[in-house]
Amino acid sequence: MRDVAVIGVGCTKFGEKWDTSFRNLFVEAGGLALEDGNLSGDQIEEIFVGNMSAGRFVEQEHVGALIADYAGLATDNIPSTRVEAACASGGLAFRQAYTTVASGMADVVVAAGVEKMTDVGTEMTTDVLAAAADREWEGIAGATFPGLYAMIATLYMDRYGLTREQLAQVAVKNHANGEKNPNAQFRKAITLDTVLQSTLVADPLRLFDCSPVTDGAAAVILAPLERAREFTDTPVRVLGSSQASSTIALHDRRDICTLDATVAAGNRVFEMAKVERKDIGFIEVHDCFTIAELCAIEDLGFCKKGEAGKLTEEGVTALNGSLPVNPSGGLKACGHPVGATGIKQVYEVVRQLRGEAEGRQIDADIGMTHNVGGTGATVVCSILGRV
Amino acid sequence: MTVPRFWRKQQSRYNLIGTTCSTCGQYFYPPRNFCPECRRDGKINEHKFKGTGKVVTYSIIRSASDQFSLLTPYVIAIIELDEGCRLTSQVICEIDAVYIGMPVKQTFRRLGTDGGSGAIFYGTKFIPA
Ligand SMILES: [Zn+2]
């Protein structure tokens, strides 16, 4: 296995992009990454693209070839592969690209993610996202995706005494971060009242506990560490990337409030990167719902089960806290174009480690990502560090 | 959900028929044809569940997909059957009546309608026991 570095990153602005098509979202992010890495298209040897549901959102399958074609690479005939693990599709693409470079199969590989969600209505979106869980035994009962996370929240609040205000503080904190991120869908600070008075979606979760529907794309370019300086003065090293799976249905979990796939992927990536929890400067976690951020912090081993709400309330996870969580604004405020999110997390970690995060800059040498598919049936974690 | 996909599991959905592994004694609903515990050594047989259990956790769905939007608000729950396995189902009761630990029993109800064909699906929901 070779050491691998990120040599270029690009990300579109996230939001409702009525005027941009699925393919142009990708082209924009890919172009930014090439420019950032000072690469020409003909240096790209392979592409992995994370995408959850182009088939239902824009009625387009065969996304790998489409992306390579519109990136101007059709005549190079490079391998281009779409990977899917619901909301963890982007994380999966990153890990595939990482293993491809680490194994020596290729040198310069693109990991991208793209989702175009706003071409269909809200009810259709709800239905598409429900397919991230067990269609035949959760969806058919009327369990929406927010409803499943709401059931985690109900049990969690009952068991650990988490307050509604502590849960809301996750959204308040992420919006405060999003306000400082020029790519974020929502660049607006909110108060506890904004969350507590928003519409109920699935009790106890309200609209401001939920990540939004978003269009967006992100791309990062990987190369062997030993070649990284050919492309950039500021390579960021990939210290490890791990993936884990668990039961597709929430009802089959050992514990409803614990994402065992997060625990497994977390333990694996720490072992692989040879770093400890205390070495991590900040984390980008999968806060598709406020409760998910609390579970992530705990299941990754940063605190005991049931304590993350209190940490959030005390400001530990804020930008100026001792463990900043979701400096980008997270899925909540930066937006959640499902297939792109896992790559956007890597993008944020790289920008932070290169000292380019402007108003939200954290002084850290090592950052971590945590990307979840469904209610935790797939989890991808990566750790990146300054060279 | 399309008609063939629903029909395939109709007996399970109508009558709460799952499976059990006679090697380890575990019960499976939704049914599994392969025991995750015993794997190749597992022996799977059909099993009709008693249909009683309790609410493990729940939510009240206020915003649903097309298929369920007319039902909102409705109670969704993870239910642990007395035999030990868990499933996701609606509980038919006042939305503020549901609680963790609530005893429930199965009932036969309309589950939903297929958007395209208009076919109506019936199956198991739960009511307070
Ligand atoms: Zn068995």
What is the pLDDT at residue B121?
A: 80
- Start-to-end Cα distance in chain B: 29
Query: Cβ neighbours of residue A17 under 8 Å, at least 6 residues apart?
Result: A25, A116, A118, A215, A216
**Active site (annotated) includes residue A336:** yes
Chains A, B: CB pairs < 8 Å: 109
What is the pLDDT at residue A87?
A: 98
Largest CA distance in chain B: 46
The sign one gets for the Cα dihedral A330, A336, A341, A347 is negative
Residue A82, beta-bridge partner list? A49
Å between B46 CA and nearest CA of chain A:
18
> Is B53 an interface residue toward A (CB < 8 Å)?
no
Nearest CA in chain A to B58: A151
| Cβ-nearest to A142 among B56, B57, B71 | B71
The fold of the B51-128 domain, in CATH, is OB fold (Dihydrolipoamide Acetyltransferase, E2P) (2.40.50)
Which run of H or of E encompasses B87?
Answer: strand B86-91
Q: Which of A251, A323, A314 has its CA nearest to residue A284?
A: A323
What is the pLDDT at residue B114?
A: 66
Q: Which residues of B touch A151 (CB under 8 A)?
A: 57-59, 76-78
Q: Which residues of B touch A155 (CB under 8 A)?
A: 56-57, 100
- Is residue B122 within 8 Å of residue B6, measured between CB atoms? no
- Is residue B42 within 8 Å of residue B34, measured between CB atoms? yes
User: What DSSP string runs through A26-49?
Assistant: HHHHHHHHHHHTT--GGG--EEEE
Nearest CA in chain A to B87: A251
Match 């956007």 to its residue by tokens. A344
What is the pLDDT at residue B115?
A: 61
Residue B15 clears pLDDT 90, i.e. is over it: no
Q: Which of B77, B22, B24, B18 has its CA nearest to residue B53?
A: B77
Residue A42's identity, in one-letter code, is D
Domains and their CATH numbers in chain A: 4-121+214-236 (3.40.47.10), 144-211+239-386 (3.40.47.10)
Residue B6 clears pLDDT 80, i.e. is over it: no
Per-residue pLDDT of chain A (387 residues), as tens digits, is 999 999 999 999 999 999 999 999 999 999 999 999 999 999 999 999 999 999 999 999 999 999 999 999 999 999 999 999 999 999 999 999 999 999 999 999 999 999 999 999 988 998 899 999 999 999 989 999 999 999 999 999 999 999 999 999 999 999 999 999 999 999 999 999 999 999 999 999 999 999 999 999 999 999 999 999 999 999 999 999 999 999 999 999 999 999 999 999 999 999 999 999 999 999 999 999 999 999 999 999 999 999 999 999 999 999 999 999 999 999 999 999 999 999 999 999 999 999 999 999 999 999 999 999 999 999 999 999 999
Å between B20 CA and nearest CA of chain A:
15
pLDDT for B87-120, tens place per residue? 999 999 999 999 999 999 999 988 877 665 677 8
> Is A127 an interface residue toward B (CB < 8 Å)?
yes
Cα separation, A305 vs A50, whole angstroms = 31
The SS3 of residue B58 is strand
The SS3 of residue A266 is helix
Give the residue extent of every domain in chain B. 51-128
The SS3 of residue A287 is coil
Distance B36 CA to ligand 1 centre (A): 7
Å between A155 CA and nearest CA of chain B:
6
pLDDT tier at B1, thresholds 50, 70, 90: low
The SS3 of residue A96 is helix
Å between B124 CA and nearest CA of chain A:
9
Query: Mean of the per-residue pLDDT values for chain B?
Result: 91
Helices (H), ranges, chain A: 22-36, 54-57, 63-68, 89-103, 122-130, 145-160, 164-178, 192-196, 260-273, 290-299, 308-313, 330-334, 338-353
Cα separation, B122 vs B11, whole angstroms = 11
Distance B34 CA to ligand 1 centre (A): 8
Q: Cα B67 vs. chain centroid, distance in angstroms?
A: 17
Residue A322's identity, in one-letter code, is S
Which run of H or of E encompasses B124?
Answer: strand B120-128
Residues in chain A: 387
Which pTM was predicted? 0.97
Residue from A11, A87, A288, A381 carrying the catalytic annotation: A87
What does the block give as tokens for A379?
């989890």
Residue from A175, A257, A286, A336 carrying the catalytic annotation: A336
What is the pLDDT at residue B113?
A: 73
What does the block give as tokens for A187?
């660049």
**Strand order across the beta sheet in which A4-11 lies:** A80-83, A46-50, A109-115, A216-224, A4-11, A236-245, A378-386, A366-373, A282-284
Which run of H or of E encompasses A222?
Answer: strand A216-224
Say whether B64 and A201 touch across the interface (CB within 8 A): no
Across residues B49-69, what is the average pLDDT?
Answer: 94
- Is residue A374 within 8 Å of residue A248, measured between CB atoms? yes
Say whether A155 and B64 touch across the interface (CB within 8 A): no
Residue A367, beta-bridge partner list? A282, A384
What is the pLDDT at residue B3?
A: 75
Q: What single-letter DSSP state applies at residue A19?
A: T
Give the environment of ion ligand 1: residues with CB less than 5 A: B 21, 23-24, 35, 37-38, 42
